[in-house]
Copies of this chain bind each other. A is one copy, B any other.
Amino acid sequence: MKQINLALLGMGRIGKIHFNNIQQHFPHAKIVTVGDPQIDETSFKKQYGDVFISNDPNEVIERADVDAVLICTPTSSHADLIQKAILNGKHVFCEKPMDLSLEKTAALSAMAADMGIKLMLGFNRRFDPDFMEARKAIMEGKIGNVQIVKITSRDPGLPPIDYIKNSGGLFLDMAIHDFDMARYIMGKEVVEVYARGLVLVDQAVGEAGDIDTALTTLIFEDGTYAVIDNSRKAVYGYDQRLEIFGSGGMIQVENSLHNRNIIFNEKGIHQALPLDFFMDRYTKSYLKEMELFIDALLNDTPMPVGGYDGYQATRIAIATRKSMEEGRSVRLSEITIKLKTSLNSMQLNEQTSI
């Protein structure tokens, strides 16, 4: 078995997770170079070992020994870096979203497909073991024909207002994970959306032009639906649950808690809070998604989640924003761009990814 050489771009919070996971768990993958404008070579090497470091991402992407690029930089730089990687013939793993613009998302997906470049998007929640188990049970018919999925997705607290200003808004930044989850769990395409948004957590969010609370209904091609309930703040912590109901039963995916201890005292019966945030809650999903990315490279198989999934999730996000703004349900067919032929054909090929 050969070895995959990786370039990692962006050693922020997520970049470090991927770096450590690859170093510790995947003997057939190696990070040969790291690109990050802010990185300090000396302290990096002291902590992480001897890897080629550059403050110029171009230099890193162009290196001949690199098979694939992991893009963990801020969203605004994703599109350019994906394009450079594709043009240099490197496969790509990119944190979501590819871009805030649907056009660029589509164009890059099509370009990757045209060029034979493998492109995986970091919709990490698909690879959470509990969600995977739920999807497996659904696909095996354990709950019959699925009629509704209810997604609860609440963050433990507001991100900085500056982050929010550049985030694309709650639907594109936060709920997009849930839109992808709805497609993944139901295995069906969304055709219509209805969304409401509110500013209930902090007025500063409203002043920044965003919402912090949302309720979204997604209608699937067969008329069944998903309901997604988002909040930027739940005082009891990160709340990530699913409930899927079908003709044969129901599956609930509950939060993982800090521990499995139960305390009984004169005030009641008490359990610990859910795991704090995505880095704790989705530890295993980050590991699993990287395992599958590397496997797909080693075995030349399709990526488990790709450009078309990013395109569809972005379309849904844009549609929900429109629905909220216009106070009506919006059909996904209203959110279109001129598609190149290759993306249309990709669509057909890659639909299996949900």
Contact = CB atoms under 8 A, between A and B. Distances in A.
A261 B252 contact: yes
A12 interface: no
A71 to B, nearest CB: 25
Interface stretch (A128-136, A335-343, A345-353): A128-136
A196 B215 contact: no
Contacts of A219: 196
A142 B129 CA distance: 31
Interface stretch (A84-92, A111-119, A268-276, A292-300): A268-276
Contact of A262 (B201, B227, B252): B252
A148 to B, nearest CB: 6
Contacts of A154: 245
Contacts of A327: 329
A248 B263 CA distance: 10
B143 A263 contact: yes
B198 A224 contact: yes
Interface in A168-195: 194
A163 to B, nearest CB: 21
A234 B262 CA distance: 15
A229 B227 contact: yes
B224 A200 contact: yes
Q: Which of A143, A257, A261 has the most CB of B within 10 A?
A: A261
A202 to B, nearest CB: 10
Q: Which of A133, A137, A249, A256 has the most CB of B within 10 A?
A: A249
A254 B249 contact: no
Contact of A268 (B142, B224, B248, B271): B271
Interface string A24-43: 11000000000000000000
A265 B252 contact: no
Interface size class of A (residues with CB under 8 A): 35 or more
Nearest to A252: B262
Question: Copy number in this complex?
Answer: 4
Contacts of A235: 144, 247-249, 265-266
A217 interface: yes
A253 interface: yes
Contacts of A147: 198, 200, 213, 231
A150 B145 CA distance: 22
B252 A150 contact: no
Nearest to A24: B24
Given A217-B217, A255-B260, A269 B273 contact: yes
Contacts of A148: 213, 215, 229
A165 to B, nearest CB: 23
Contacts of A255: 260
In the A-B complex, the 3 residue pairs with the smallest Cβ-Cβ separation, listed nearest first, are A249-B265, A236-B264, A250-B264
Given A133-B261, A235-B265, A271-B271, 13 more contacts: A24-B25, A144-B235, A194-B194, A196-B223, A234-B245, A235-B266, A236-B264, A236-B268, A251-B261, A252-B261, A257-B269, A268-B272, A269-B273
29 contacts: A130-B261, A133-B272, A137-B261, A142-B265, A143-B263, A143-B265, A144-B235, A194-B194, A194-B217, A196-B219, A200-B224, A234-B250, A235-B265, A236-B264, A236-B269, A249-B264, A249-B266, A251-B262, A251-B263, A254-B261, A256-B260, A257-B269, A267-B270, A268-B271, A269-B270, A269-B271, A269-B272, A270-B270, A329-B329
